[in-house]
Amino acid sequence: MEENKLKLTVCMCTRNRDLRMLPSIKSILDQSFTQFEFLIINDASTDNTEKVLTQCAEQDPRIKVFNLGTHNFITARNMMFINSNSEYVAIMDSDDLCSPNKLEEQVKFLDEHPDIDVVGCKIKFGKKSSHFSVPNTQKNYTHEYFDECIKRGENISMLIQFATIMIRKSALDRIFKNKIYFYPEMQNGGEDTIFLYALYLNGAKFANINTATYLYNYLEYDDSISGTVGKHFDENNFIFKYIHNKPINDRLTKVQELYDKYENYKRNKGGS
């Protein structure tokens, strides 16, 4: 690690959450691991979110706020990684919570396993999302187990959840050389799963720990992503058509190719 380079950046995107996002912010600020910067992208909120975030940043210098002038979820997502300048990057949603040791446990794991690029953690779902089940996140596993599961056809989102991950910035820089991590056609959903596949298909190694917990959608807001998931594009057909049903050597690997194919698939609603 470069001298004086920050160890960790925590990234959050939010829109029109004002005071409701405070428990999520506090969940990060109260972590046992404290040496991080906290980037919060305000996606052109029309309520008091900007004012609340300004006050938060005044109270804790680790918080850095970026305010978008025009609502664009994908732009907000890209800004998270573009503005991260630390060794590791972690994700946090503004309607979620996490155990106080989450950052510490994931930093420790990546420090001790330099061959691993992405580490997830155990996930628990709020009542609104109680129909979801990701039993693999309850396990400690290495990339060998992860790779075996993918090769036998398991969906990557059944192995690791985007919201739980901590990732090496060097892996992002290596794989996304153009610094475009999410594409416009991902605006209506599926962006997190396709992003994880882009990492995996380009050589990133994954692992999971069960010594820390991410509490997904625990704040039970009506505008939570899981509450509107029925309106989002179901990426599963794309995944099985272009990834799992292909021989390993014929699978999409280049990020541009993968994203272009996904963009075309959505535009033509499944056409080739």
Which residue ranges in the chain fall short of pLDDT 70?
A: 1-4, 127-132, 185-189, 218, 220-256, 266, 269-272
CA distance linking residue 102 with residue 161, whole number of Å: 14
CA distance linking residue 33 with residue 94, whole number of Å: 19
What's the sign of the alpha-carbon dihedral 51, 96, 234, 253? positive
Q: Strands, E, within 126-171: which ranges?
A: 166-168
Which pTM was predicted?
0.86
Q: Which of 52, 105, 91 is nearest to 216 (CA)?
A: 91
Q: Note the pLDDT tens digit of each residue in 211-242.
A: 999 998 767 555 554 444 333 445 566 665 66
- If phi over 0 gives left and psi between -120 and 50 gives alpha, with beta otherwise, what is residue 109? alpha
What local confidence, expressed as pLDDT, does residue 256 receive?
Answer: 67
Q: Note the pLDDT tens digit of each residue in 146-167.
A: 999 988 888 898 899 999 999 9
**H helices present in the chain, as ranges:** 22-29, 49-59, 73-82, 102-112, 143-151, 169-175, 191-201, 236-239, 255-267
What local confidence, expressed as pLDDT, does residue 51 receive?
Answer: 97
Residue with token string 């109260």: 30
Length of the chain: 272
Q: In what order do the strands lie in the sheet with 118-125?
A: 63-67, 36-42, 8-14, 88-91, 166-168, 118-125, 206-216, 97-98
What local confidence, expressed as pLDDT, does residue 193 receive?
Answer: 87
CA distance linking residue 28 with residue 23, whole number of Å: 9
